[in-house]
Amino acid sequence: MRTGIWVLGDQLWMGQAALNSCEHEKINTPVIIIESHNYAQKRPYHRQKLVLVWSAMRHFAAELRSTGWLVTYSISDDFETALLNWIKENRIDEVRIMSPNDRPFTQLINNLQLGCSINLIPNNHFLWSVTEFKEWANSRKRLLLEDFYREGRKRFNILVEENKPIGGKWNFDQQNRQPPKGKLKTPQVLWFEPDEITNSVIEEIKALSWTSYGEIEPFKWGVSRSNAKTILEHFIRQCLPTFGPYQDAMITGENSLWHSLISPYLNLGLLTPIEVIEAAQLAYFENNLDLNSVEGFIRQVLGWREYMNGIYHYVDEDYRESNWFNHNGSLPNFYWQSSQTDMNCLHQVLNQVEKTGYAHHIQRLMVLSNFALIVGVSPQKIESWFQAAFVDAYDWVMVPNVIGMGQFADGGILGSKPYASSANYLNKMSDYCGNCVYDYKQKIGEKACPFNFFYWDFLDRHQEQIKSLGRMNFVLGHLNRLKAEEINEIRALAVNWRENNCR
């Protein structure tokens, strides 16, 4: 009986479970990695996402070969054809695959007709296994991130002493929300020049007729384990010491500020969560870094990333169809072409996404997702756009983040209130409003910012539902003090805007 291993495109790690299971027999174990053009056409993926994934896959294939694995690299229309040819050529009786993290891909595997057994090995790319998270969740009345994060800190002995948090607090969020006032000296971003393999992928993608979103060059992402480790080291040395205070800030022309830029590498498997967390913790102890910066970063990996993955596998499959506000609007046209909007905040962020496939978490949540929420866009349409537009996007990431957190479409499983705001928040946390044709102070009138009239229109449309959320009663009080004629003009502005921008 001969076993072969299929390494998926987001499992590019020597220590992944399927490879581990055959490490002692690797010189006799065939491995296959497949680029499927049909699968890549499921969405209008950002061109840089395709370059990143395919180049990383090719680099990983070379790395596997250099350590003795028997690797077949296949470029095919579909997965099944490539697998059948490989199985026949290598006389394979069992195909081992580390369980995909994306549920739709698991279904794809289950539908394959390969004529041999398929063995899914439990995924080991997260600190919490799916089973461990379910056991934790089933033992609780509430599934709050804060509770989960504290449990993770204790379980993995991160920034704790005798099960108590170093510094006396679990959470330093209040110190990490400073607006970008004055002239800030941001760290230099570390990028990479494409090598021969990456340049080859770029040219191949340019020749494809079906890729349609985003600019393919300049391509500056890392594509190998070595690149990813260099990025992590750069972040720990240059960015982590001052990461915390301005992690929610947004500045024109600053794509990353102090953010790590490691999410694409974590999600591909080029970095592991534990090495990232331990590197940050070690830097704290060795260099006496500010605890709020280190804790704020570790929270994103040990807390939020693990929590999103756990929730994704815990909820029912139909969670992705959630729509608590019954929003069914179309996505504004400019999400696909930033030049079509004169709203400076959206133009800046969307233009950045077009050029790089990246925006940091507040740009995603409080600009892109926030606007879709208050306009009334279908949660499924904005979630699909997020999956297509970002280089670090996968189903397990975007379904809970966009459907649950960003759109509050689950009615409160992930959060206690919607992340909806007017232009006041954007003016506080960015410099976008100062160079905009709209007035961030106005909610009605010719210069009224759409974030303003849509925010109040959103509250007006859904006030009966929102009443059930205790944390929203304060803002509903402000809504009820608006005059009837002001509400009517807000409604008219919202209707007119949708007619002109959501076709």
What is the per-residue pLDDT across 464-482, written as a single tens digit (0 to 9) for each? 999 988 888 888 898 999 9
The runs of H, that is alpha helices, within 158-262 are 196-207, 225-234
The model's pLDDT over 69-101, given as tens digits with 9 standing for 90+, comes to 999 999 999 999 999 999 999 999 999 999 999
Q: Which of 264, 281, 314 is the last residue of a domain?
A: 314
Above 80 in pLDDT, residue 130? yes
* Half-sphere exposure of residue 123: CA atoms within 13 angstroms, side-chain side: 25
Task: Answer yes or no: do 270 and 215 share one domain.
Answer: yes
Q: Are strands 117-121 and 160-161 parallel, antiparallel or unpaired?
A: unpaired
Same domain, 82 and 142: no
Same domain (yes/no): 77, 154: no
Spatial separation of the C-alpha atoms in residues 28 and 38, rounded to whole Å = 30
List helix spans (H) across 181-258: 196-207, 225-234
| CATH code for the domain in which residue 481 is found | 1.10.579.10
Q: Does 479 lie in the same domain as 349?
A: yes
Residue 302 has pLDDT above 90, yes or no: yes
Residue among 412, 410, 356 at smallest CA distance from 383: 410
The reply to whether 62 and 204 lie within a common domain is no
226 and 372 within one domain = no
Q: What is the pLDDT of residues 336-367, one digit of tens each?
A: 999 999 999 999 999 999 999 999 999 999 99
Q: How far are the Cα atoms of 102, 120, 143, 149, 154 from residue 135, in angstroms, in the given order?
A: 20, 21, 12, 15, 16
Same domain, 242 and 273: yes
Q: Which of 58, 92, 121 is the last residue of a domain?
A: 121
171 and 279 inside one domain: yes
pLDDT of residue 21: 96
Q: Do residues 175 and 286 share a domain?
A: yes
Q: Are 206 and 308 contained in the same domain?
A: yes
pLDDT of 503 above 80? no
Residue 308 sits in the same domain as residue 333:
no
- Record the tokens describing residue 493, joined without a space: 């502005």
DSSP string, 332-397: PGGGT-GGG---HHHHHHHHHHHHHS---HHIIIIIIIHHHHHHTB-HHHHHHHHHHH-TT--HHH
The average confidence (pLDDT) of the chain is: 96
How many domains is the chain built from? 3
For residues 479 and 156, give the distance between their C-alpha atoms in angstroms, rounded to a whole number: 46
Is residue 280 within 8 Å of residue 294, measured between CB atoms? Answer: yes
pLDDT confidence of residue 471: 81
Query: Domain span at residue 367?
Result: 321-501
Q: H-helix or E-strand containing 134? A: helix 130-138
